[in-house]
Chain A
Amino acid sequence: MKYTAPTKQGYFGKYGGKFVPEILIPALEELEIAYEETQNDPLFQKEYHDLLREYVGRPTKLTYANRLTDYYGRGKIYFKREDLCHTGAHKINNAIGQLLLARNMGKTRIIAETGAGQHGVATATACAKFGFECVIYMGAEDMVRQKLNVDRMRLMGAEVRSVDSGSKTLKDATNEAIRDWVTNVENTFYIIGSVVGPHPYPMMTRNFHRVIGEETKDQIKLAEGRLPDYLVACVGGGSNAIGFFYPFIEDEDVKMIGIEAAGLGADTDQTAATLTIGTPGVLHGSLSYLLHNSEGQIQLAHSISAGLDYPGIGPEHSFLHDTKRVHYYGVTDEQAMNAVKLISEKEGIIPAIETAHAFAYLETLMPLTQKDQIVVVNCSGRGDKDMGTISEWFRESPPSKGA
C-alpha cells in the first residue's frame, strides 16, 4: 500500500498539526516553503549528501553480530551502525540538514533542545563547522547525568543554558527552546532534534534521517540477498526509529518494532512508555500520544536514559501504532542496562543506554525467530557519554542474572 503521510497540513492520520502560538505561524510557513525548495534543489541535495559522506562518515556500516547471534541460537542479527556517525549517534544527519536549511533561509542564530546531549552535540558540531551562533537548552538534571556532552558542546563554542523548570529534563528544555524561538523568531532557526514539534518538523526530521533505512536496505540486500524479517529500534521522540523504518513501510513483510523506555515499569508512574499507556493530546506543537493526567497536565516521564525521558512521541509513531504497521513495546531501566553489558561483552560495542533499550527486546524477540530469519537492530548511538551512569549502576546493582 502506498504510504504518503503526512498531508499538506502536516497530519499523519489524525496526529500532527501545528499547535503553536500565532507568532510562530509565519516562521513555520517560511520553513515549509524553504524546505520544499531544497527537496527539488540538486545543489542542496549534493551539499547535504557530500557532508554526510565526507564529514559524518556515511554510509555507516551494517555489522553482522555473530556472537550475539550464536548466543541466542536463532535468527541472524545485524546492527546498523549509527554509533559510527561523527559525534557518536544518528542525530547529526538531521542537524546538518536543518543547519543547511537555516543558512539558506538567512538565519544567523541556531537554537536547539537536548536530552541526552546527542542532539545538542550534533547541533553544536554543525554550528562549529559552519560558524553559527549556537544556544542549546538542556534540563538541569540532564546536564548532570550527561556532563561529558555538556563539555563537548561548550568546547565547540555553543552556549549551554540550564533549564530548571518542571522535571528539568527534555520536555522542559523543549519548552524553553520554543520560548526563545517565539522571542527571537526573526533571526533564529530552531533545530528540533526529534520527529516531534509542529509541521513540518516531524516530516523534515524524518526525511533527513531516512538515509539510515535506505542504506540498510541496500546493505542487507548485498549481504543476504533479501530484506530483513524484523527491524528493531528504540523510540523516545522517535527520530532514529522513523529514519530506519520509513524506507521499509511499504515492504509489508518487514515487521517493525519500536521500543519505548518503560523506566521502572509501564505499570508504575516512573515510566516513559508513551504509546503503551498514554492517550492522545497536544504537547510541543503537535497532536500525538502523551503521558498526562485526567486534567490534561503533562506527567513527568522517567527513564534512566535521558534521551528517552520524554512524555510525548512523534505523531508519525502514533499513526503507525494505531494502524499497527509498527508494534511498540516497553523495556525497563534494568532490562536496558543488562543489554548494555551483554552487547558490550558479546560484540565489543558499548551502546548508548537509549540504544540498549532496542537490544534488550532481543531477549523477547529472538526465541520467536527461526534460524533463517534476519533481524536488524538500529544501533543508534554509542555509550561513551553514559559511562558514568553505567559504572554507577553496576557498582550499586551488580548483574545477578541474565548475561
Chain B
Amino acid sequence: MTTKTSRIQTVFETRNSDEKIMSLFITAGYPDLESTVDLILGFEKNGADIIELGMPFSDPLADGPTIQLASNVAIENGITMKKIFEMVREVRKQSQIPIILMGYINPILRYGVEKFCSEAEESGVDGLIIPDAPLEESSIVSESAGKHGLDMIYLVAPNSTDNRMQQVDQHSSGFVYCVSVTGVTGARKGEEVAQSVERFIDRVKTNVKRNPKLVGFGIKNYEDAQLISKKVDGFIVGSALIDTIRNHYPNKDWQQNVFLFVKELKFGNIE
C-alpha cells in the first residue's frame, strides 16, 4: 500500500461512528478554470471529506442534463488533462483531502493510460472512477493504476446481481460507489430514491464486505443524504451541487452561497 491509498482509507478509518462521509463531485473547469481549486478548498472547509474531480467529456452518456452542461462549459473554457493535473497540484500545496478523478475512458486512452496514471500519482490523485470501464474492460487501466498507487473505484447498481456485487468488491479499493437508482446522474425527488434504495442497500451490505460504501445519484439535500446513507458509510453529491453553482454564478458572493449549500449538506440547517 502506498501513502496515496491511505488518504482515502484514513477518511473512513478516522470518522466518528455516527458521521457520514461526504464526497462531492465537481466538474474541473466549471464554472470557470480559475475557480476549481478555490471550490475544492472551500468544500473541504465546509465539510467535504472526499473530492471527485470530473474530467469533462464531450459525450457523457451516463450523465443527465446538469453534468452534460457543466462538461460542455468546461470544454468551452478550455479545460485539458494537463490543466486538471495542475489543479490537483495546486490543491495539494494546501490540502490532503482525497481527490478522485472521475471521467470517461476515451480522454484517458487518448492521453495515454500509463502517462495519465503516472501524472495522476505525481500530482497527488488518490483514485479513479471511470463509469464506462466496468470490470469487463477495466484491465485497460487497472494495471497502470495499481502500479501508481491509484485506487480503482467501481460501481454497483440496483440491477447488479449478488455475484456481481461481490466481484466489484473484490476488484475495488478505496470504496464502492453505490448507484441508488437506475438512470443517469441528476437530482431527483427524495421519495423516488428512498423507495427503491432500501432493498438495494441491504443487498449491498450483504455482498460488499471489503470496502466502505458510498451511495450516490439523486441526492439533493441533507435530509436525502441522511435517509439514503443511513446504513452505509456516506454519500456522494454531484448534480445538486452543480445546479447550486449554476444558480449563483457569477453573482457576487456566489462561492459563499455554494459553500453554505455544502455545509448544510453535511451538517443540516444550523440556524
Contact = CB atoms under 8 A, between A and B. Distances in A.
Given A25-B136, A175-B61, A281-B109, 13 more contacts: A21-B134, A23-B159, A25-B134, A26-B164, A166-B59, A179-B64, A179-B184, A182-B184, A280-B109, A282-B104, A295-B80, A296-B106, A296-B110
A18 B184 CA distance: 18
B154 A292 contact: no
Interface in A1-56: 9, 17-23, 25-27
Interface in A208-243: none
Interface residues of A, number: 36
Contacts of A21: 61-62, 131-132, 134, 155, 157
23 contacts: A17-B136, A19-B137, A21-B134, A22-B154, A22-B160, A22-B179, A23-B159, A23-B183, A26-B161, A27-B159, A175-B59, A175-B60, A182-B182, A183-B184, A184-B182, A186-B159, A186-B182, A283-B59, A283-B106, A292-B106, A295-B111, A296-B110, A297-B58
B84 to A, nearest CB: 10
A165 interface: yes
Contact of A22 (B75, B111, B156): B156
B41 interface: no
B105 A22 contact: no
Contact of B137 (A17, A26, A184, A297): A17
Nearest to B78: A295
Contacts of A9: 136
A282 B136 CA distance: 14
Nearest to B81: A295
Contacts of A165: 68
Interface size class for chain B?
35 or more
Contacts of A171: 59
Contacts of B110: 281, 292, 294-296
A121 interface: no
A26 B68 CA distance: 25
A107 interface: no
B73 interface: no
A349 interface: no
Contact of A298 (B59, B64, B131): B59
Interface of B: 57-62, 64, 68, 75, 80-81, 104-111, 131-134, 136-137, 154-157, 159-161, 164, 168, 179, 182-184
A178 B62 CA distance: 8
Contact of B61 (A18, A184, A280, A284): A284
Contacts of A179: 61-62, 64, 184
Query: Which of A21, A182, A297 has the most chain B CB within a 10 Å cutoff?
Result: A21
A20 B155 CA distance: 12
Interface in A248-306: 280-285, 290, 292, 294-298
Contact of B182 (A19, A185, A282, A292): A185
A22 B171 CA distance: 14
B180 to A, nearest CB: 11
Contacts of A182: 61-62, 182-184
Contacts of B60: 175
A26 B134 CA distance: 11
